[in-house]
Amino acid sequence: MGQNSAKGSAQRVAKALEAHVLVALIFGALIYILALTGTLSVFNHELQRWEQPDVPEMLQISAEAAERAALAVFASEAEPSSPLYINFPQGDLPRTVITTDTQAFFAAPDGSIAGPEAFPWTQFLLDLHYYLHLPQILGLTVVGALGAMLIGLSFSGLLARPRIFRDAFTYRRGAGRLPTASPLQLLPLVCRMTQPRCSHRYSVASQSLLRRPRITAKLPISLARLNTWRANSPNTKSHSLSCMSQAPPGNTAM
């Protein structure tokens, strides 16, 4: 009875851990999407100009020209629209846009309509960042909750690692360097390249020598240098460290 209860408890814990990992992956992926799209959305004006490069640009527009453009947009509406927005030229977006509930048009400097506003890729990016392509109220709620979670994780991480800034800017001498092999550590490799039969003998010998604290040779030997030495050697057998006649233990003829 006790074993069955313990087994059932372990299974519940395993399932809970799997669910925890799955939820963490889902929310982590959503937070990553928000961070990536938010970074790209900083350049949304530049992306809009890139998508529609032929739109007339201006530093300013007169009130009369803006009024003519607004009246022309109103006249093109199939049904009367009450709200109307005029986006005047800005430094990073030197274009005049007349927007209603159903459509948006660019205005030329003389007040004529220059064409419809259409930047599908940039709009896709903005909608993904603000709403995750969900219904507007639901999307804003989910994105707001993810933002609150991200802030909470950031503060809890700082509290959990009080030395994070000191560790990040601490200089550690020698940290990150690749370890260099000593000649004694590469001795079995040299034997294997020259005479495979003596590799075991010299492997045991090098291990016994490395146990001595007085042997601390630090001459870095790379594999490229060993290969070069092997290729340039006139007679590989003469460099077999005098072990050609030695047999590994256990292979001695009886």
What residues contact 134, with CB distance under 8 A and at least 6 apart?
A: 142
For the chain, give the mean pLDDT: 76
What residues contact 208, with CB distance under 8 A and at least 6 apart?
A: none
Given a contact cutoff of 8 angstroms between Cβ atoms, the answer to whether 59 and 89 are in contact is: yes
Residue 31 has pLDDT above 80, yes or no: yes
Question: Which comes out higher in pLDDT, residue 214 or 149?
Answer: 149
Residue 239 has pLDDT above 90, yes or no: no
Given a contact cutoff of 8 angstroms between Cβ atoms, the answer to whether 103 and 95 are in contact is: no
Domain ranges for the chain = 2-44+124-158, 56-117, 187-239
114: three-class secondary structure by DSSP? strand
Report pLDDT for 162.
75
Residue 243 has pLDDT above 80, yes or no: no
Query: Degrees (nearest 5) of the Cα angle 66, 68, 70?
Result: 70
Report pLDDT for 218.
44
Torsion angle of C-alpha atoms 115, 118, 122, 125, degrees rounded to 10: 150
Percent of the chain with pLDDT over 70: 67
Report pLDDT for 75.
86
User: Residue 74: pLDDT band by 50, 70, 90 thresholds?
Assistant: confident
Given a contact cutoff of 8 angstroms between Cβ atoms, the answer to whether 34 and 129 are in contact is: yes
Q: What is the mean pLDDT of residues 125-132?
A: 94
Torsion angle of C-alpha atoms 28, 32, 33, 37, degrees rounded to 10: 160
Residue 131 has pLDDT above 90, yes or no: yes
Question: Which comes out higher in pLDDT, residue 121 or 175?
Answer: 121
